[in-house]
Amino acid sequence: MNIIDELDWRGAINQQTDAEGLKKLTEEKSIGLYAGIDPTGDSMHIGHLIPFMILKRFQEMGHKPVIVIGGGTGSIGDPSGKKAERVLQTMDQVKHNEEALTKQMLKFFGNENFRIVNNRDWLSKISLLDFLRDYGKLFNVNNMLAKEVVASRLEVGISFTEFTYQILQSVDFLHLYKNEDVQLQIGGGDQWGNITAGTDLIHRMEGQEAKVFGLTIPLLLKADGTKFGKSEGGNIWLDPEKTSPYEFYQFWFNQDDRDVLKFLKYFTFLDQDEINELADKIQTAPEKREAQRRLAQEVTKFVHGEKAVQEAENISAALFSGDVQNLTASEIEQGFKNMPSVDITNQKENIVLWLVDTTKIEPSRRQAREDVQNGAIRINGEKITDLEAEIDPNERFDGKFVIVRRGKKKYFLARVK
């Protein structure tokens, strides 16, 4: 299947500058294409992932993606999607973010048929006079004001700095066309004005016969009408230090039946036959959540690797069954991250005193004795009914944790300090 047909089936195309021309070109040859990301943070979140999944699909079909880390544009600020001016970052912050994002991209794309470039390398070499004479002269202010990204900011105001962003992004496309054989730019729907400004600049400077194209991706909405990409706790990050692989897995596993088919098409590389089979299972056996499980497995594997999928599923099974004894310290760190926790020493102590005085899990010694005798307390997965039992924090999980379950569902984590 042609890559454009594939994207169309997946619902991943919003706008194209020349649909027929792009499809024909991708059938004739391997093309260069790019998407950019400004280093405004040191990790991408899942909202950023969408255009790069599209680049990955092109790469899988033999095309040559280029990723532009916006060291130049990132120091200016993209007005897209913002109601006010961005706070400019220090150059040290920008550099740190560039390095972090580069590592993430290399993990996803490898080194074959793929390049990462930084637009500071060419934008920083353009003098102010050259910028105005060579590029500014080719942009009509009336047309720039009409672009949605600028028009949406006129009421509250926009600085000249952010106003020029679309020129800089256009220069990026021109540079990549001339030096990296790039003919297609991909971005979110809010980038349409910037992308078309780039194709226009190339046609003015290189001639109307230049084969350059733009493609945008639809705004991804959930079935309830809210924007995809966030949970109640905020962004779902690709950096495992910001969002653990277990939390990442659970985010995908907990998707609504109404959304999971769409997300399978967007975020996995499963073929049409397998996705259609999963679509049938959503209808016939939704309680098994097989489509959600497959989605969680595939996206977690893409971002964090196969080992992370296994760890996430181990944690999920242990928390569901209560059998936490075989979890590793790393799995406990992930699975119990958001559960009530307390810091303790590694000293042994009687269970009743430990539950009341040391951890304050129980409100009183009477209640602690009652819960222990009734079998309501499990320590590291083992039911404790002996009032004389001792808690030894060094006994399990590399001496780092003690897991307490009170009743059927209430978990507590004691961290040994």
What's 360's domain CATH number?
3.10.290.10
Q: Residue 362 domain-assigned?
A: yes
Say which residue the tokens 């600049």 belong to: 201
Q: Is 234 exposed, middle or buried (0-12, 13-18, 19+ CB in 10 A)?
A: exposed
State yes or no: pLDDT of 235 exceeds 90.
no
Give the H or E element holding residue 379. strand 377-379
Question: At 287, which CATH number?
Answer: 1.10.240.10
Which two structure tokens, joined as six digits, stand for 117? 């470039």
For the segment 158-186, the average pLDDT, to the nearest whole number, is: 94
**Long-range pairs, 217-222, Cβ under 8 A, ≥24:** 217/12, 217/13, 217/14, 217/50, 217/51, 217/54, 217/186, 217/187, 217/188, 217/189, 218/11, 218/12, 218/13, 218/14, 218/189, 219/14, 219/188, 219/189, 220/50, 220/262, 220/266, 222/256, 222/259
Q: Residue 202 domain-assigned?
A: yes
From CA 388, how far away is CA 329, in angstroms rounded? 27
Are 307 and 357 in a shared domain?
no
Residue at which a domain ends, from 286, 320, 354: 320
165 is in an annotated binding site: yes
Are 10 and 148 in a shared domain?
yes
Q: Residue 332 domain-assigned?
A: no
- Cβ partners under 8 Å of residue 390, min gap 6: 348, 349, 350, 351
34 is in an annotated binding site: yes
Are 199 and 284 in a shared domain?
no
Helix (H, G, I), strand (E, B) or coil at 107: helix
State yes or no: pLDDT of 177 exceeds 90.
yes
Q: What is the pLDDT of residues 91-122, one digit of tens each?
A: 889 899 999 999 999 999 988 889 999 999 99
Q: What is the pLDDT of residues 283-330, one digit of tens each?
A: 999 999 999 999 999 999 999 999 999 999 999 999 888 889 889 999
Q: Residue 325 domain-assigned?
A: no
Are 20 and 85 in a shared domain?
yes
Question: At 48, which CATH number?
Answer: 3.40.50.620
**What is the pLDDT at residue 75?**
81
Are 14 and 148 in a shared domain?
yes
Are 250 and 309 in a shared domain?
yes
The closest of 170, 142, 171 to 154, measured between CA atoms, is: 142
Are 166 and 30 in a shared domain?
yes
**What is the pLDDT at residue 84?**
64
Are 88 and 119 in a shared domain?
yes
Are 50 and 117 in a shared domain?
yes
**What is the pLDDT at residue 338?**
84
**What is the pLDDT at residue 286?**
95
Pair 37, 101: CB distance under 8 Å: yes
Q: How confident is the model at residue 220 (pLDDT cuts 50, 70, 90)?
A: confident
- Residue with the bigger pLDDT between 231 and 364: it is 364
For the CA atoms of the chain, what is the radius of gyration? 27
Q: What are the Cα distances from residue 107, in Å, to 21, 36, 56, 249, 334?
A: 32, 17, 12, 18, 21
- Cβ partners under 8 Å of residue 268, min gap 6: 275, 294, 295, 298, 299, 302
Which two structure tokens, joined as six digits, stand for 22? 């792009």
**What is the pLDDT at residue 406?**
94
State yes or no: pLDDT of 230 exceeds 60.
no
**What is the pLDDT at residue 374?**
95
Helix (H, G, I), strand (E, B) or coil at 409: coil
Are 239 and 206 in a shared domain?
no
Question: How many domains does the chain divide into?
Answer: 3
For the segment 126-155, the average pLDDT, to the nearest whole number, is: 89
Pair 94, 75: CB distance under 8 Å: yes
User: What percent of the chain has a predicted confidence (pLDDT) above 70?
Assistant: 98
Are 24 and 118 in a shared domain?
yes
**What is the pLDDT at residue 320?**
85
Q: Position 89: which residue type?
A: Q
**What is the pLDDT at residue 81?**
60
Least confident piece of the model among 13-27, 58-72, 120-134, 226-240: 226-240
Domain that holds residue 303: 230-320
Q: What is the pLDDT of residues 41-92, one digit of tens each?
A: 999 999 889 899 999 999 999 999 999 999 998 887 777 666 667 677 888 8
Q: Residue 184 domain-assigned?
A: yes
- Cβ count near 320 (within 10 Å): 8
pTM: 0.86
State yes or no: pLDDT of 140 exceeds 80.
yes
**What is the pLDDT at residue 270?**
96
**What is the pLDDT at residue 109?**
93
Q: Residue 8 domain-assigned?
A: yes
The closest of 85, 71, 167 to 124, measured between CA atoms, is: 71
State yes or no: pLDDT of 187 exceeds 80.
yes
Secondary structure of 190-240 as H, E, C letters: HHHHHHHHHHHHHHHHHCCCCCCEEEEECCCECCCCCECCEECCEECECCC
Are 315 and 350 in a shared domain?
no
Residue at which a domain ends, from 217, 245, 280: 217
**What is the pLDDT at residue 7?**
96
**What is the pLDDT at residue 355?**
97
Q: Residue 352 domain-assigned?
A: yes
From CA 329, how far away is CA 335, in angstroms rounded? 10
Q: Residue 331 domain-assigned?
A: no
Residue at which a domain ends, from 192, 217, 242: 217
- Cβ partners under 8 Å of residue 319, min gap 6: 335, 411
Q: Is 190 exposed, middle or buried (0-12, 13-18, 19+ CB in 10 A)?
A: middle
411 is in an annotated binding site: no
Please compute, for residue 84, the number of CA atoms within 13 A of its CA located in the half-sphere on the CB side: 2
